[in-house]
Chain A
Amino acid sequence: MLGLVVAHLVMAAVLPAVSARNRRAAFGVAAVLPAVTLAWALGNAGQALGPGLDSTTSWAPELGLAFDFRLDALGLVMVVLVSGLGALILAYSAWYFGRRSRDATRTAALLLFFAGVMLGLVLADDLLTLYVFWELTSIASFLLVGQSGEHRANRRAALQALLVTVFGGLAMLLGIVLLGTAAGTYRISEIVTDPPTGSAVTAALVLILLGALTKSAQLPFHPWLPAAMAAPTPVSAYLHAASMVKAGVFLVARLSPAFAERAVWWVPIVALGLGTMLVGGWRALHETDLKRLLAFGTVSQLGFLMVLFGTGGRIAAMAGLALLLGHGLFKAPLFLVVGIVDKVTGTRDVGKLSGLGRRLPSLVVASVLAAASMAGLPLLLGFLGKEAAFEAFLHDGGVRNWLVALTLLAGSTFTVAYSARFLWGAFATKPGLPATEADQPSRGLTVPVWITALSGLVLGTLAPIVDGLARRYGAAYPAQDAVERDYHLALWHGLNLPMLFSAAAVGLGVLAHLRRDALTALHRRLSHPVSAQRGYELVVAGLERFAVRVTGRLQVGSLPAYLGFILLTVLALPGGALLAGGSWPADQAAFHTAIQLPLGLIVVIAALALVRVHRRFTAVLLVGAIGYGIGGLFIVDGAPDLALAQFLVETLTLVAFVFVLRRLPAHFTEKRPPRRVIVPKAVLATTAGILFAVLGVVASGARTAPATASEEFARLAPEAGATNVVNAILVDFRALDTLGEITVLLIAVAGTVSLVLATRHDRRRGTQVTSGSGTPEHEEELLG
């Protein structure tokens, strides 16, 4: 299975080469792989419906990472949506995009790339694998919605989609890690058979839900989906109706068998799902752009699917699976129809299209098939699912279930109404509008519509096929009663309550469509400033302002402040760790040898005096005193080489300072800063100094044996022809380090010399430097 996914990605990489020769051929070539994948999946359907088809490819065995894939009933349905619809939509795109369209090249490659990663997502049996593919689909969506980035609407929508879904994705990653740690495995099939418990799992589920809800555009994250309609219509049909937005629903469907009994799982799913279904349906009733109408319809249907998969009953799960397949098979052709209408008339506006039905009768038939499936009319796949959905909540008759069922009825009424509105908007002859001019669409555009619309009819009529899939998935839940045990998806269950609900939905929906003007007037009256889109904008703007404030506080432009922040961090992090975990060594000597005391005293006095002096030369001499004092301490420690180098370097430094001091004023020129500046600096520096001293004590106390490397060096030194071990280390064992040191010296010399020479050059030419950082002119220039 990994092979199939990788083949998609490789193919996507070489596709631009094909595009360069022929745009249309590129889409054709791209459609081959998804078609092959579909054939492969259908060929393995027997095993998928039985024990499931597993494949594992080791990735990083040391970390326990592997590409685990699994094809089962749910996976099979998703593969039909991802690869089957993918192949058709790619073929459709060949005729949709112009032969010389600039967007076609990247769109073809990205669509195939998306098909590959989406396939990986739906087949993944490992939460981490799933996460990787999950984020890759978000990125593919970003690139496809953004297109070339020329249009503001594209950029805005792409960014919104990316921010919302990746925010959810990151939360989900955290949840996945928590869940995987609690379960001891990341394999989904193992987690589902033996679900972990505990408070960490509760937190994990909330986080994972956040990912699923954002990806599937649930309340209150839904506005990104209608906004994403700025993408070309085939992209909307594929990513934002048929496949990618189902990822969240898919994840819920995967994990529900394990967690549906927990309130933390089903309560938010059912509440938000129902809310989403109503809001999406209501908004779809008032859209005038056919594409946005369908987008809100998708939002609504995704809410419906969430409810079905999240409640965790056997019949609900069966209904969910049937509708999952059904939604792909009716929503994709409807989008493709919008694409055709747009292509042949140049508009998607309900208020401008009129009389199109007479010109394109065959397209009307296909659209009616798809829309009827969406509305849940008999003989169609949507009907099977909707009947089962009502049955799921009506058969045991609890108050909670009745509430859900009635809300679903309201949502279904909206669905019927906007299905009618879609057909009316696209094809009806409207009084007072001239008939729209339209060309005949090419076969390449209509054939995919027909295939998908008809498959909805075929699968609806041949109910046992879908029933087999749905029962296999529903078997994850133990049957609660005889009704659940014996339930089959079928066209005729007799005259019962679900049938009545279905009929009521259709009747009320048609009524709602006939009274559409009154409803729109109501919608106008209800319009209010609070909306999820506004909320998103406020959050983004708030984050940006917060970022500016934080940057403003931390990045104040003053070097001492920056160093102060760094020191504070050092105090907080390593200092905190030291306080938490460090142990003070038990035996502490006052000194090792008496001579350490006078030497240390010299260093301390010189250092303290250094803080107070005003004359530069005195300061340099004091630093020299510190250096020589430390050289002395080195001798006491048994490091004569070090002491030698220290004395030499100290002398050289002193000479260098004297050269420069000749030219500088004798005193430090800076004004003495006020106390309120000095005191915090002194406190901070002292605390940090003490921290380092304590760090030294604790670190040396932690050492219990001499370094093994050092013994090795001492043993091998004779072989290097040396008696001085330190020398042997420097020029033999660690010679490369010494080479690096020499290189640093060389660079420093080059820098120093050029600085000095540049200064001399300026002096000789008598140039007055009037600009540059820090001069009054520069400040004026910057601050205005």
Chain B
Amino acid sequence: MNAVNLSMTVVLAVLYSVGFYLLLQRSLMRVLLGIVVLGHGTNLLLQLIGSPPGRVPILGIALPSEFTDPLPQALALTAIVITFALTTYLLALGYRSWVLVGHDEVQDDLEDRRIAQRERPEASMGEETTGEDDAEDDPGSAAASGDPVDPADVGGER
């Protein structure tokens, strides 16, 4: 039985709140900072859920029974590195956005907004029934299932 202690709970709550809040902003830079903060929060969460503070998991320094759980540490170590990779990439993306359009703000997707303004679907499954019937041959007729008619033959009769 172990538990996150109360002070760490507060730290977690603040980190996640700030991370989410920044994520909801429009500036790409703030969004990026939000992701970094969320990454920190998650790494801390992994450690705290894993086990209460214990001895360093290195053989020869402590007994295995006194170890903190090494598995969350390994997971968090991977997570730290990947967060770093993501950060640099987003940073480059924000930079590129700034160079191209003069700011680094996330724009609204105009295509999506156009869909949102639409009142009725562009193409409808039921719409065809109200449209004018085109002068096609009856598809259920025997003629439609017969041999395809050579257009050259028909031409003479018309």
Contact = CB atoms under 8 A, between A and B. Distances in A.
A100 B147 contact: yes
Interface stretch (A188-196, A311-319, A450-458, A560-568): A560-568
Interface string A621-646: 00100110010011011111110011
Contacts of A745: 81-82, 85
A711 B99 contact: no
Nearest to B56: A638
B88 to A, nearest CB: 5
Contacts of A751: 89, 92
Interface stretch (A209-217, A361-369, A372-380, A767-775): A767-775
Contacts of B54: 638
A779 interface: yes
Contact of B142 (A342, A590, A734, A763): A342
B58 A774 contact: no
A121 B86 CA distance: 54
Interface stretch (A11-19, A300-308, A425-433, A581-589): A581-589
A557 B104 contact: no
A704 interface: yes
A: interface residue count bin: 35 or more
A744 B82 contact: yes
Interface string B90-115: 01111110111101111111111111
A700 interface: yes
Task: Describe B's contact surface by its main secondary structure.
Answer: helix
A649 interface: yes
B93 to A, nearest CB: 6
Given A697-B9, A700-B49, A752-B92, A668 B27 contact: yes
A611 interface: yes
Contacts of B100: 769, 772
A688 B17 contact: yes
A537 B17 CA distance: 48
Interface in B110-158: 110-121, 124-130, 133-134, 136-148
A714 B98 contact: no
A311 B58 CA distance: 79
B3 A626 contact: no
Interface string B17-32: 1111111111101100
Given A552-B115, A587-B3, A689 B110 contact: no
A636 B44 CA distance: 12
Contacts of B139: 147, 150-151, 153-154, 230
A599 to B, nearest CB: 9
Given A229-B140, A541-B126, A634-B47, A555 B12 contact: no
B141 A342 contact: yes
Interface stretch (A83-91, A266-274, A716-724): A716-724
Contact of A685 (B17, B52, B57, B148): B17
A729 B87 contact: no
A693 interface: yes
B109 A660 contact: no
Contacts of A557: 108-113, 115-116
B7 A645 contact: no
A544 B124 contact: yes
Contact of B116 (A339, A555, A627, A726): A555
Contacts of A230: 139-140
A36 interface: no
A307 to B, nearest CB: 29
Nearest to B31: A559
A563 B23 contact: yes
B59 A616 contact: no
Instruction: Kindly name the residue among B10, B76, B127, B142 whose own CB sees the greatest number of chain A CB atoms within 10 A.
Output: B142
Given A97-B145, A725-B58, A692 B18 contact: no
B73 to A, nearest CB: 5
Contact of A692 (B12, B67, B89, B134): B12
B133 to A, nearest CB: 8
A537 B127 CA distance: 8
Interface in B15-73: 15-27, 29-30, 33, 36-37, 40-41, 43-45, 47-49, 51-60, 64, 67-71, 73
Contacts of A783: 110, 114
Contacts of A480: none
A779 B113 CA distance: 11
Given A555-B115, A729-B74, A591 B16 contact: no
A170 to B, nearest CB: 17
Given A603-B15, A626-B37, A637-B68, A291 B140 contact: yes
A759 B95 contact: yes
Contacts of B81: 645, 649, 741, 745
A762 B41 CA distance: 38
A406 B45 CA distance: 76
B34 to A, nearest CB: 9
Contact of A637 (B53, B94, B137): B53
Contacts of B93: 755
Contacts of B58: 723-725
B21 A729 contact: no
A525 interface: no
Interface centre among A557, A696, A723 (most CB of B within 10 A): A696
Given A101-B145, A703-B49, A684 B20 contact: yes
B26 A560 contact: yes
Contacts of B57: 638, 714, 724-726
Given A557-B116, A639-B68, A653-B36, A152 B14 contact: no
A102 B17 CA distance: 64
Contacts of A597: 7
A642 B27 contact: no
B128 to A, nearest CB: 5
A86 B33 CA distance: 68
Nearest to B140: A230
A645 B77 contact: yes
A496 interface: no
Contacts of B33: 610, 619-620, 623
Contacts of A200: none
A288 interface: no
A134 B40 CA distance: 53
A697 B98 contact: no
A121 B31 CA distance: 56
A699 interface: yes
23 contacts: A96-B142, A99-B147, A101-B146, A152-B134, A153-B138, A231-B140, A558-B109, A626-B37, A638-B56, A649-B81, A653-B87, A668-B29, A686-B21, A692-B45, A693-B10, A696-B9, A703-B49, A704-B1, A715-B64, A722-B59, A724-B58, A774-B107, A779-B110
Given A96-B142, A548-B119, A560-B26, 8 more contacts: A98-B147, A98-B148, A552-B116, A559-B26, A589-B5, A626-B15, A669-B105, A783-B110
Interface of B: 1-27, 29-30, 33, 36-37, 40-41, 43-45, 47-49, 51-60, 64, 67-71, 73-74, 76-78, 80-89, 91-96, 98-101, 103-121, 124-130, 133-134, 136-148
User: What 6 pairs across the A-B complex have the smallest Cβ distances?
Assistant: A689-B17, A557-B112, A98-B147, A689-B16, A748-B85, A685-B20
